[in-house]
Amino acid sequence: MKLTSQETIQESEKEFIDTINAELDWEAIEKMLLEKHGFTLQDEIEYKDGDLVVYNDSIAYKFDFEIKVPLSVIFNRDGECLEISTVREDFESEDESGMNETRTKEFSDHPEPEDRVAQMASNLADMISEINQGDE
């Protein structure tokens, strides 16, 4: 015996999810991404889907987005990657000729380029996993 139609339930669930999505605190999300993963969001954020899920034996909300992040890549004239970063921290420096040039702030612990690329890939994978799983 049905108490209501499946369409009514699905429409109400979609409205509920849309209401929550409209109230997300993007400043808090951006702060978390910067602190946990070291990058900021670009303006374009595309909402893909939202749903109720069970996460660690509790009801939770899962929202899927497509995001763009800034990406800076520095490589030498041989084509070797020197640095890859998702946070743009530019500063002006003056070279010996008195010309100003913009340089990307270097890491203090200069790991090998391959290690930096691997770490960046790992950080991005962690971030995507957290977004897909949602925070507890």
Residue 113 main-chain phi, psi, to 5 deg: -55, -40
Q: pLDDT band at residue 107, thresholds of 50, 70 and 90?
A: very low
pTM score, two decimals? 0.52
- Judged on CB neighbours under 10 Å (0-12, 13-18, 19+), 25 is exposed
Residue spans of the domains in the chain: they are: 6-133
Average pLDDT over residues 25-45: 80
Locate 126 and state its tokens: 């962690």
The percent of residues in the chain predicted with pLDDT above 90, rounded, is 21
Confidence class for position 43, pLDDT limits 50, 70, 90: low
What's the whole-number mean pLDDT along residues 22-42?
A: 82
Can you tell me the distance from the alpha carbon of 119 to that of 113, in angstroms, rounded to the nearest whole number? Answer: 10
| Helix, strand or coil, per DSSP, at residue 58 | strand
pLDDT at 9: 92
List Cβ neighbours of 60 (8 Å cut-off, separation of 6 or more).
Answer: 52, 53, 54, 134
pLDDT over 80 at 41, yes or no: no
